[in-house]
Amino acid sequence: MDRVTTAQRRENMRRIKSKDSIPELIVRRLVHRLGYRYRLHDHTLPGRPDLVFPRRRKIIFLHGCFWHAHTRCKLAHTPATHQEYWQPKLDRNKARDRAHLRALKELGWDVLIIWECELTNTVLLGDRIRGFLAMKP
């Protein structure tokens, strides 16, 4: 098995975007096709949610399985190198996600988390999003 060099890892990490990623664009197009309009990355809300539906008081987060340590997901793994760095970082990400979710619920928002691995079945995902947005708080 080939080891990833520090330079290769640095280059891979540099290319990862926090906004307008391909998974995020897929979800945004799907939501738009369903007829819903939204705001992006509201900086006034905890966690800067990916999609915000202010009148409905609903929020959608799109979580990358690796970065948010999706439980029992094959896309979520701890890198074999530098585990002393990665494990605490992924644990902090999960703790921060829980804190943001708790704060949003206290503010009266309903939250849907969509995992990167769920993007393979857009029909099922569309039904899930439609049900979430149509549901009364």
Quote the pLDDT of residue 18.
62
| 42: nearest Cα among 25, 54, 28, 29 | 54
Quote the pLDDT of residue 3.
67
Whole-angstrom Cα distance, residue 12 to residue 83? 17
| 21: nearest Cα among 50, 44, 52, 47 | 50
pTM: 0.83
Q: At residue 8, does pLDDT exceed 80?
A: no
DSSP state for residue 64 in the 8-state scheme: -
Sheet holding 51-53: strands in order across? 39-40, 51-53, 58-63, 110-115
For the chain, domain boundaries: 39-134
- CATH class of the domain at 39-134: alpha beta
Q: What is the pLDDT of residues 54-105, one digit of tens each?
A: 999 999 999 989 889 898 888 787 777 888 888 899 999 999 999 999 999 9
